[in-house]
Amino acid sequence: MKEHKITGLSCGHCALRLQEQIQQLPGGEEAKVQFNSSKIVLDEKMDMKAVRSILSSENVRFESDGEPTGPNWLMIGLYVSVASFIAALGAEWALNSAYIAILLYAIATITSGYPTFMKGLRNLTKFKFDINTLMTVALIGAVAIGEWKEAALVAILFGINELLESYGMEKARRSMETLLKVAPKEALLLKDGNTETISIEELKVDDVVLVKTGQKIPSDGIVVYGKSSVNEAAITGESLPVEKENGEPVFGGSINNEGVLYVKITKTYNQSALSKILALVQEAQESKTPTELFINRFANYYTPIIMIISALVILVPPLLLNEPWGEWFYQGLAVLIVGCPCALILSSPIAILSGITVNARNGILIKGGAYLEQLGKIEIIAFDKTGTLTLGEPHVVAEQAFHPDFYKVAYSIEKSSSHPLAKAVIAKCRELGTEEIEAEEITTVSGQGITAIVNGKTYRLGNEKIIGDIQTDGNVESVITSLKDEGNTIVLVASESEILGVFAIADEIRTESPAIIRALHEKGVRETVMLTGDHPAVAEKVAKRTGVSAFFGGLLPEEKVEKVKSLKASGKVAMIGDGINDAPALATADLGIAMGKGTDSAIETADIVLMQDHLGKLPDAVQVSRKVNRIIKWNIGLSLGLKLLALLLTIPGWLTLWIAILSDMGATILVTLISLTVLLHNRK
């Protein structure tokens, strides 16, 4: 299958009809016409001439066929039409000539209404009923009863409506396309001491590339030489640069701000984070939400119903009430125009596309419109603890020195260790500017800790078992017990006769977590729940500091799944995690959200991926999704409400063709403009 860019596609209904026709061609069973992204996906063996013929029936063409930026015939036709209409009004007023006026009204009708008229005639021959069919019948009817002025005005207003509708959809598409242009095209490959410019598709794992100032890093890799700040906004949505040096990972598509970086490629471009992001975003464009699917199904019944109502308006008053035929025929034509489903069909896609785009700019990948809609309905959010509400790294949260040599001895013993607890102690000692001295005869005691000689004296570092039978006074015992009761891991430092001090180590809570939990509650999330495999005492401590509504500790992966199931009984549930053990719970929840720097299994299972290594943008994503849902409801209400109001005017016989088209046009313009306000969200 091959993807082709097309131009001239401005109607969702038209896209569905074109897809159905192309699927009837040999080899066209899997063909897709994608309205939101203005693309068509075809089997490479298909008869392209036949495809072009079908596309041309809706004035759609392949962008590669040329003239993508040629004259806008719809705009030109509108200019001629408006000029002719004004001239016709002048002829009526100044020359008092009905014949010249009719001729000019006819020119105005044809120049503005010709594309619609031709489509409508083709549809009538095939008994297909859409807006073009309705408009064609209305124009023929208006001309047949001598309403030339009304016919011309209707054609002009409908042309303006079509133009504005296409501009609105194009605005949303361009916003998405701008997002997709972040992908680098070329790379500077280092080979035998020289650089060679190659396409990013040619890059292989273990290739080393040169990235100069201002250039994009071509694919995911590791810095092997150089130091610079890197802008990762395209991947994570974070605007602040991140410092990179030897041994640190970098994302493809991020920009080198200054200096020179040599990067060893760890993933081919197709496997890179950026490539996966762009693929997810493009797939998300074309996925249909439950609301959209309902609207499309509804529109299939809606148009025939409108035609039946129109026929009843034309026939019932003259036949049963002895009303004049001409007047009610005119009212029936107006009903046809009021019944145009354009605004209703546009109620959802522009808002959905805009919402996906805004979130993608913020580094939040929503894998489909249905998930965006679902996020706006979430009432309960369940969080894994480690790596989500916390950093997932041991950190000294408290310490108590009982002897002046406490930090010096601890640092000397731990500084050569790579154990996670040792790293926490080292970081704390460096933070305090502890004197660096050397330890000798370092020996590991299994299950207890380490013994070593520092300045000729023997010291022990580890858990409570390492101190043996050293006597402790009440104050020391009280401090240790208190720190343990808070759910911390205890690291003691002791000589052969006394305890020098104690470190309390725990997984560090992310500084932003309490504010995020508060913000989620403010955005309408009813309940926040923490699910963790850690000890209940640790879970309670984190829960208190972050402000979650409830917590459950000591859970196995299958028990997390059961908790998610029980939460679903009281509302829509989203689950957020980053580890492989979270994948089952992510799949069980109504909505799975993964941390972007988590495991591949969590990211693949999730419906939404947060490319940042924190939850900072989550409240914003919830707000955007709720706004999108609210806008869709407003749009549906507006489009149907304005039509109902116009239809009620048929009761006293006040409905005119131009009022009908204005009601439809007003609804379409309002729906489009309201939907586009979503794009303004992150410009606040």
Least confident segment among 4-13, 429-438, 537-546: 4-13
Instruction: Look up residue 187 and give its two tokens.
Output: 């790379």
**Which value, to the nearest 10 degrees, does the dihedral of the CA atoms of residues 519, 525, 527, 531 take?**
-80
What are the pLDDT digits (tens) for 575-592? 998 755 677 888 888 998
Q: Which residue in 130, 207, 220, 384 is the catalytic one?
A: 384
CA 553 – CA 532 distance, rounded (Å):
5
What is the pLDDT at residue 501? 92
CA 594 – CA 17 distance, rounded (Å):
37
Which one has a higher pLDDT value, 241 or 182? 241
What is the pLDDT at residue 680? 84
Calculate what percentage of the chain has a pLDDT beyond 70: 87
Among the ranges 160-164, 170-174, 474-478, which has the highest mean pLDDT value?
474-478
Measured in degrees and rounded to the nearest 5, phi and psi for residue 133 equal -65, -45
> Distances from the Cα of 680 to the Cαs of 322, 353, 357, in angstroms?
55, 13, 11
- Closest listed residue to residue 402, CA positions, set 479, 506, 488: 479
Residue at 299: amino acid letter: A
End-to-end Cα, the chain, rounded Å: 41
Q: Which residues contact 50 (CB under 8 A, 6 or more apart)?
A: 25
Does position 684 have pLDDT exceeding 60, yes or no? no
What is the pLDDT at residue 659? 79
Is 192 annotated in the active site? no
CA 500 – CA 299 distance, rounded (Å):
78
Beta strands in 430-566 (DSSP E): 439-445, 449-454, 457-462, 489-494, 499-509, 527-531, 550-552
Does position 65 have pLDDT exceeding 70, yes or no? no
Does position 529 have pLDDT exceeding 90, yes or no? yes
Q: How confident is the model at residue 195 (pLDDT cuts 50, 70, 90)?
A: confident
What is the pLDDT at residue 604? 67
Does position 547 have pLDDT exceeding 90, yes or no? yes
pTM: 0.68
Calculate what percentage of the chain has a pLDDT beyond 90: 19
Beta bridge partner(s), residue 461: 450, 493
CA 98 – CA 96 distance, rounded (Å):
6
pLDDT (mean) for 299-313: 79
Q: How confident is the model at residue 175 (pLDDT cuts 50, 70, 90)?
A: low
Q: How confident is the model at residue 489 (pLDDT cuts 50, 70, 90)?
A: confident
What are the pLDDT digits (tens) for 430-461? 999 998 888 898 888 877 888 999 988 999 99
CA 395 – CA 511 distance, rounded (Å):
13
What is the pLDDT at residue 599? 47
CA 408 – CA 212 distance, rounded (Å):
43
